[in-house]
Structure 1
Amino acid sequence: MWFVVILSFLSYACNGSLVDQSTQSSVNAELNGTDITKINIEVEVMKGHFHALLLRVINNEHELTSLKGQTQQMEHELENTKRTFSCEIEGLRDVTIQFEQELNETINALNTINDTIQDLSHRVSVIDDKYSPLEIPGSYGNESGLTGDKRECPLNWTRSVDFGACYFFSDERMSWNDAQAQCSKQNGSLADIYSEKEDRWVADYCNQTEGNGIWIGGKRDHGVFKWFTSNGKTKDMNYTQWITDLENVVTWPKGPTKMFSKTKKLLILILHLKEPIYMLDISVPMTQIRDQGNGQFEGHLTFALTEEVVGWEVVVTFSAPVTGLSQWMGTAIRHSADNKVHYIVNLEYDGIQHAGTTFDITVRGTAAGGSAPTATAILKNMGIDGFTVPPIINSDGTPYNYDEVITKSILFYAAQRSGKLPADNPIPWRGDSALQDSGDNGEDLTGGWYDAGDNVKFGFPMAASTTLLSWSLLQYKDAYQASGQLDAMYDCIRWPLEWLIKCHTGTNELYVQVGDGQKDHGVWGRPEDMKMDRPSYKITASKPGSDAAGEYAAAMAVGSIVFKDKDPAFSAKLLTHAKQIYDFAKTYKGKYSTSVPEAAAYYNSDNYVDELSWAAAWLYMATNTSQYLTDAESSYLSGAAWGQSWDEKNAGTMILLYKITSKDKYKQDIEATFTNWLPGGTQSRRIPYTAKKLAFRSVWGSLRYASNMAFMALLAAETGLHPTEYRNWAKSQIGYALGDTGRSFVVGFGVNPPTQPHHRASSCPLIPAPCSWANQQEKGANPHTLYGALVGGPDQNDRYTDSRTNYINNEVACDYNAGFQGAVAGLKSLHLRNLLDK
């Protein structure tokens, strides 16, 4: 290479040993006395320059080589990127085409359905007119002289001028079915009272006439009144109102269905409305109408808003059929068969409108008849559903209304339901969802609970929640019965238990998750609208998960105990699955979050040994088989427990094993655990406390940990361990959640409760208004009250922000409420047994 030539040149030019003496003498003569030293210096300088040049050449060549490599790498990456985006673009095109086709099909189907509904409505109207002789249309100030449609009521019936209907009051005591049959004989039906105005009219009439109404097989369940149907199932009333004081009106003899009146007063039962109540209904005429000829027109619908609107629907009724309707806000979603009634709903970006502003929609279209039509429009605020839970009287005299907390906590779990909802669904703003959830081979995986504020079904924490809730029913059944929620509680835990059974699709195969957490968390919307893929994940012999399988087995085992008398067949089914799943967990050991990495980012398991002991202990309780007790004790992790959670089961296991065996080692572990959790514990293991006395285990769901351990403390006290100390501590921790600090942390309960929980479904307006990230960011209360949900709770300094974006302190979750509800049921039970300190 050429730098070798330079080196050779330097050698010949600078190495004197290669120059003979005669040449040297000749050079010296030619220099004529020039300073040799100076020349030597210049030569050395030149040598330095050459060396520097050489190094630069070498470095440049290295850099050139490196740049060539980087260029090749970039070219390679560019090609990969091109290929990737090319595939994705093609995929997006295919998806877009498919989506447009499906959307058009859906719109056509909706239009067909709407046309059918209109036709059916017309038919019903005709039948109504023909077969409802008791209905008196309109309002009439004078009851005399009514003829034709203005007919009198039947003999002994009373007509309401304001409500255009006839009412019958009876002093007879009879069952609901008999009363309904009596009304049916006269072409009537038992009255559903839908408004306060109608309520007041019935009450006033009763007071004036001293009528006392029809007793309909009712019963007092601590302030909650119910229908009794022929099959014995009950339906809760929306609320109950007495004309005078409750205790002075009715005596309640023993027995499930008998009531007797002491005075002639009316018991008004108002049924829970299944349809949403729109809090804002503004009706306006179409104004600024411009007739553009040939039936084409333009008009304005202008609404003056008196409240915040988070999602809206406008129903426009034209005087003539209108086609080709377009509007400058929202989107038209459907119309009546005759094209006179059109429905417009907001888009994602224009659904939020503020109180005190004017909301204007410009509409255009073509009317039949050749001239511009007139129109009226009704604006419905889809952001307020009007659904409320009836007041529940605290007849116990306890600091907090435990009946109300239990009732509302069960409602929270109803709001978390996935799948096909039952006919008696108590949450009117929730509908069927995720009806396509399935396994690898099409197995039905619908049902279960959505985990938290998202719409993923995580089996591990769901099973853990079910275990604690079932334990609370097993231990404190008296509390649920006294609060009137026993049947509701059975329904509550049956929902996830049936899903856990569905997940057991093979002897050594168990599904533990439905839904992709990353995709799900990338969307803010109601579960009824989900469009993303919902993959399912399972554990097998080759991909084990002893922790998840153990928890499933535990939940099913305690469930089998709870349902043993209630539903023996279901109980036996649960126990069969529990045994098989436990054998699977014990035989093929491993962590489920290792086998299913998609779960690790959300519910990563610490270990599986505690779940094996936990499951075996519950199976022993369910079967009395000694091998299960041997397994439970051999797998037991001794020492003080960290706490009780979806991942940590030691605290519950030690209490269960102490209850079974009465061994000192379990007693010592229980005491060591609560020495650490109660104030003044050992410094090295002591749980820190906030200034306002909350035992603070972790900032993420701080109330969840304190409530779980409050439940454990109450259960430990039931075994005879430090009952006064443990119960008072549990009461203090639950008191913090319910309002001891001046605010409640339970949605829809107490003083200053959370109104903006991080929860997708409750943050969305009513269907058909769309829901998006704009609703997540919207300030103000959620459109739907998520009754009974315990939020995460404060930080270590008792600070808490009620914000929908605050998922650390303000999210809700199934496992947050489980131990909390159990503790509240425990406190209620203590009150019933006169064991609760005032």
Structure 2
Amino acid sequence: MREFGDSKRQEQAYSSLIYGQHNFHWYVTLLVSIFLAILPLTQPFDYGKALSKSLLYFESQRSGRLPYNQRVTWRHHSGLTDGLEQGVDLVGGYYDAGDNVKFGLPMAFTITMLSWGVIDYGDEIAGAGEYSHALEAIKWGTDYFIKAHTHPNVLWAEVGDGDTDHYCWQRPEDMTTSRQAYKVDEKNPGSDVAGETAAAMASASIVFRKTNPHYSHLLLQHAKQLFEFGDKYRGKYDESVKVVKGYYSSVSGFTDELLWAALWLYKATDKEDYLRYALEKAYEFGGITWAINEFSWDVKFAGLQIIASMLLMEEKHRQMEYKNVLEQYRSKAEYYLCACLNKNNNVTNNVKRTPGGLLYIRQWNNMQYVSNAAFLLTVYSDHLQASNQRLRCDQGEVGPEEIFAFAKSQVDYILGANPMAMSYLVGYGLRYPQRMHHRGASIESYKENRGFIGCTQGYDNWFRRKDPNPNIVVGALVGGPDQMDQFSDDRENFMQTEACTYNTASLVGVLAKLHGLQERDFDSPLVASS
């Protein structure tokens, strides 16, 4: 369903134009609206440009001392004393969204998904000239995790806290809010954050294996220690770091992260012990019992089920001792994929869609589920293509082309093929959100104005302004429209206008794949001669 999609309404509009029944301003408004609505249908999206902007986004979210080659010039150094009170260097890492807190669990998931994108689509990223930027985005996170893992059984899981941070509206360069750091250890366990950080470092170790083998080895050692720590001292991190509750609570518990970490360590080391862990604990930890229709920074089941199911293609895993459990993993992976494709028999087992065709999980920051689904669908489509298989759903088998076409439709919706004719990737396209819920973006740049902006001064002078943000957070994927495809570009509308690092992270791999196909089609003799 699209604005101005009804031919009768268009005919009436043009008749009014011809007979002069409305004023000139109305004509112009109508024509512009029609133009914006049909533009995504008449012009192909530039996936390479969207990919470049997506990777640029992570530079806007950097904490710490910015490097000489920093491209986002409206940002400056921040958080330079992080960890000082606790006697540890915690400078660096990423702010998760529009605030100035460093939350370890979503940060680690961001790095895992960026790494997975590079592992599977590194050639396409390199073909777009963005490989070094992708590696820089990953390394900014893993450098921080190395610092935060100060002992085999100690991981610093958060710097700052949401309560004091949300009381103030300040640029990160001006922060006066608490920078207290919080850790998990033997007495205060956090298996979920330890497991996800292990997954991030294990997956990144694969990324850096050829370009930086020493660094790759270092990451792998940290990943192994973190996994062992998380498994030996089990517990939810939000029970140990209570200030995270209400912001990034671990609703799914920690078992999904331990299985997820084990599979990534298996992929990084090829050591059977890690695979055996994921198989032997598959039932106890819910890997083959939970049928889930969302994949996020909190709920990893669908992702780990897909990784496990793809192992079936490898000859060494077709032995009977492995096959039965891997088949059960595949069954649950298929449930998730079929739910996204609306192919499960029970309608309640399918993911809802907006009238415009967007997957819709929940009101707050829905786009994270969309980009994650698009990535998993793309990865599994490639797997089916390579192994000459089809997806088995209640409503019949689905080929890899159809699966990927749906993934592409979700990306195209993000980039502008939607009823609002709005790109939800900031900085991309003719029309995108101008009033992101983002402290640094909404206040005059520190480079332009080095005068201190106080805690409540930011709210008084900047937050409530109706003007567009003075700084553009290029590549940020905002929360997106509601269940009826409606979007209100308002700074106070944080459910729709705030963006998060993990929204964009999953998008990188899919954009790279789409760009690679676009380049291939453009270079084909048929297209070149037309």
Offset of residue 701 of structure 1: 1.0
Aligned: 1:483 with 2:128:
yes
Tell me, in whole angstroms, the C-alpha distance in 2 between the residues paired with 1:439 and 1:597.
21
Tell me, in whole angstroms, the C-alpha distance in 1 between the residues paired with 2:151 and 2:520.
45
Q: Which residue of 2 aligns with 1:402?
A: 47
Q: Which residue of 1 aligns with 2:273?
A: 627
- Percent sequence identity is 39
Contact 2:63 2:77 in 1 (8 A): yes
Tell me, in whole angstroms, the C-alpha distance in 2 between the residues paired with 1:780 and 1:404.
27
1:511 aligns with one of 128, 137, 156 = 156
- Once the two structures are superposed, what CA deviation does each residue of 1:172-195 show, in whole Å capped at 9, x if it has no partner? xxxxxxxxxxxxxxxxxxxxxxxx
One-letter amino acid of the counterpart of residue 694, structure 1? L
Offset of residue 440 of structure 1: 5.8
One-letter amino acid of the counterpart of residue 349, structure 2? R
Q: Which residue of 1 aligns with 2:395?
A: none
Aligned residue-pair number: 441
Name the SS of the counterpart of 1:512 in structure 2: strand
Q: Which residues in structure 2 correspond to 1:523-602 (within 5 Å)? A: 523-602=168-247
Q: Which residue of 2 aligns with 1:749?
A: 428
Name the SS of the counterpart of 2:470 in structure 1: coil
Contact 1:470 1:559 in 2 (8 A): yes
Q: Which residue of 1 aligns with 2:104?
A: 459
Offset of residue 769 of structure 1: 4.6
Tell me, in whole angstroms, the C-alpha distance in 1 between the residues paired with 2:405 and 2:84.
47
Q: Which has the higher contact order (CA 8 A, sep 6+)?
A: 2
One-letter amino acid of the counterpart of residue 474, structure 1? I
Offset of residue 729 of structure 1: 0.7
Tell me, in whole angstroms, the C-alpha distance in 1 between the residues paired with 2:520 and 2:380.
17
Q: Which residues in structure 2 correspond to 1:155-170 (within 5 Å)? A: none
Offset of residue 686 of structure 1: 1.5
CA RMSD between the two structures: 1.9
2:57 aligns with one of 412, 419, 430 = 412
What's the TM-score, normalizing by structure 1?
A: 0.51
In structure 1, runs of 5+ residues without a counterpart are 1-396
Q: Which residue of 1 aligns with 2:307?
A: 656
Pick the structure with more strand per residue. 1
Aligned: 1:707 with 2:352:
no
Q: Which residues in structure 2 correspond to 1:45-444 (within 5 Å)? A: 399-438=44-83, 441-444=86-89
Contact 2:293 2:351 in 1 (8 A): no
Tell me, in whole angstroms, the C-alpha distance in 2 between the residues paired with 1:642 and 1:462.
22
In structure 2, runs of 5+ residues without a counterpart are 1-41, 314-325, 385-389, 391-398
Offset of residue 640 of structure 1: 2.8
Aligned: 1:803 with 2:490:
yes
Q: Which residues in structure 2 correspond to 1:671-682 (within 5 Å)? A: 671-681=334-344, 682=346
Contact 2:293 2:340 in 1 (8 A): no
1:758 aligns with one of 434, 437, 449 = 437
- Once the two structures are superposed, what CA deviation does each residue of 1:96-141 show, in whole Å capped at 9, x if it has no partner? xxxxxxxxxxxxxxxxxxxxxxxxxxxxxxxxxxxxxxxxxxxxxx
Name the SS of the counterpart of 2:349 in structure 1: coil
Name the SS of the counterpart of 2:93 in structure 1: coil
Contact 2:93 2:141 in 1 (8 A): yes
Contact 2:165 2:178 in 1 (8 A): no
Tell me, in whole angstroms, the C-alpha distance in 2 between the residues paired with 1:648 and 1:522.
29
Name the SS of the counterpart of 2:475 in structure 1: coil
- Once the two structures are superposed, what CA deviation does each residue of 1:592-638 show, in whole Å capped at 9, x if it has no partner? 01111101110000211110010000000111110000112233312
Contact 1:717 1:726 in 2 (8 A): yes
Deviates more, 1:655-664 or 1:460-469: 655-664
Q: Which residues in structure 2 correspond to 1:773-788 (within 5 Å)? A: 773=459, 774-788=461-475
Offset of residue 832 of structure 1: 5.0
Tell me, in whole angstroms, the C-alpha distance in 2 between the residues paired with 1:798 and 1:589.
42
* Distance 1:615-1:424 versus aligned 2 partners, 3 A rule: same
1:728 aligns with one of 386, 396, 405 = 405
Offset of residue 673 of structure 1: 1.2
1:768 aligns with one of 450, 463, 481 = 450
Q: Which residues in structure 2 correspond to 1:596-615 (within 5 Å)? A: 596-606=241-251, 607-615=253-261
Tell me, in whole angstroms, the C-alpha distance in 2 between the residues paired with 1:398 and 1:486.
27
Contact 1:514 1:537 in 2 (8 A): yes
What's the TM-score, normalizing by structure 2?
A: 0.80
Offset of residue 398 of structure 1: 8.1
- Once the two structures are superposed, what CA deviation does each residue of 1:459-506 show, in whole Å capped at 9, x if it has no partner? 000000100011001100122111111111111110001101111011
Offset of residue 768 of structure 1: 2.1
Offset of residue 672 of structure 1: 1.5
Q: Which residue of 2 aligns with 1:716?
A: 380
One-letter amino acid of the counterpart of residue 617, structure 1? L
One-letter amino acid of the counterpart of residue 781, structure 1? P
Q: Which residue of 2 aligns with 1:692?
A: 356
Tell me, in whole angstroms, the C-alpha distance in 1 between the residues paired with 2:93 and 2:310.
31
One-letter amino acid of the counterpart of residue 671, structure 1? E
Tell me, in whole angstroms, the C-alpha distance in 2 between the residues paired with 1:743 and 1:441.
45
Tell me, in whole angstroms, the C-alpha distance in 2 between the residues paired with 1:779 and 1:734.
29
Name the SS of the counterpart of 2:347 in structure 1: coil
Offset of residue 834 of structure 1: 5.7
Name the larger-Rg structure: 1
Offset of residue 666 of structure 1: 2.9
Contact 1:472 1:826 in 2 (8 A): no
Name the SS of the counterpart of 1:728 in structure 2: helix
Pick the structure with more helix per residue. 2
Name the SS of the counterpart of 2:262 in structure 1: helix
